[in-house]
Amino acid sequence: MRLEEAFNKNYNRFTENEQYICRYLLEHKKECAVMSITEFAGSCHVSESMLVRFAKKNGLVGYGELKARLRLEEQETEEALGPGEELLNTVTDSYHKMMDELIGRGLDSLFEKLYRARRVFLYGSGSAQTRAASEMKRIFLPVKEMFHIHGHDMRGALSRVMTERDMAVIISLTGESEATVSLARELRLRQVPTLSITRLGNNTLASVCDENLYIHSITLPARYGVEYEISTPYFILIEYLYLAYQEFLKRRLDSL
C-alpha cells in the first residue's frame, strides 16, 4: 500500500496534530524525503515521538521507514516523461502497477457490501468519470443491476432516496470537489455504504467513504497541445472488478 493510500485509510483516526503532519508531508514531499526526524519535527512544531507514532499508525516500523518509503515514492513520481516511446512506456507501466496493487489487495469487504446492497447507485463527477460510471453499469448488468445518476441536480435526490440497504459508488478524479464530498458526507450520515474511485493520492472523498479504490492517472505533457488526463485506468479497474466479483460469487456459491 502506498503512503497516500494509507493516509486516506487512516485519516479519520488521526489527531489534529497528525492531520497537520499528513498535510505538511504531502505538501513538502521533496524536503521531507531528506529531513532527519529532528528537522521534520522542528518544521511541523511537533515532538519526535509524535512522528514515530504517526508512522506506526500508518503501518510502518518508525520514522526511518516512513522517510525511506517517501523517498522511494518521490523518485518514482519524478521519473521524467520523455517523448514518444518513453511516454508510452510510462503509461503502460502505470497500468501494470495499478493491476499489481489491485491483485495484491483483498476485495471481499467491498464485494460483501456490493452483494448485500438492495440497490447500487453510480455517480461520476466529471465527463471521464461519468463515462466510467456508465460502463460500470453496463458491464455489471449480468450480475448486479446498477443505477447511473447523471447531473449535478440529481445529487440531492440521490442522498434523499438512499438507505443503509443501498450502496453508492462515487467516481472522481481528485476527490476534492466540494459537491461530491458533501454528497459522500450526507450518505455517511444515512449509514449508506460507499465506495470512492479516485486518482491515487490523499483526498477528502476517500477519507469519507467506507471503501476506496485508486487509479494511476497521468496528465499528458504540455507539448501534446491538449489538457488531458488519461482515462483508460478507470475502465481497466472496472473490468477487473467485474471479473473479480464473478470469482467472489463463485466462491460464495461453492461454500454453501
- The residue among 52, 60, 54 whose CA lies nearest residue 1 is 60
**pTM of the entire structure?**
0.72
The CATH class given to the 3-77 domain equals mainly alpha
Cell 458491464 appears where?
A: 139
The Cα-based distances of 218 to 16, 78, 95, 114, 158 in angstroms read 32, 12, 10, 29, 31
Of 2.30.31.20, 3.40.50.300, 3.40.50.10490, 3.90.330.10, the CATH number of 98-254 is: 3.40.50.10490
**What residues contact 94, with CB distance under 8 A and at least 6 apart?**
216, 218, 233
Mean pLDDT, each 10-residue run in order, the chain (256 residues): 81 87 84 88 89 91 88 66 66 89 92 97 91 96 92 75 95 89 93 95 92 87 70 94 96 88
pLDDT of residue 255: 86
The CATH 3.40.50.10490 portion of the chain extends over 98-254
The CATH 1.10.10.10 portion of the chain extends over 3-77
Chain-centroid distance of CA 45 in Å reads: 29
CA geometry: angle at 241 spanning 164 and 190, to 5°?
Answer: 15
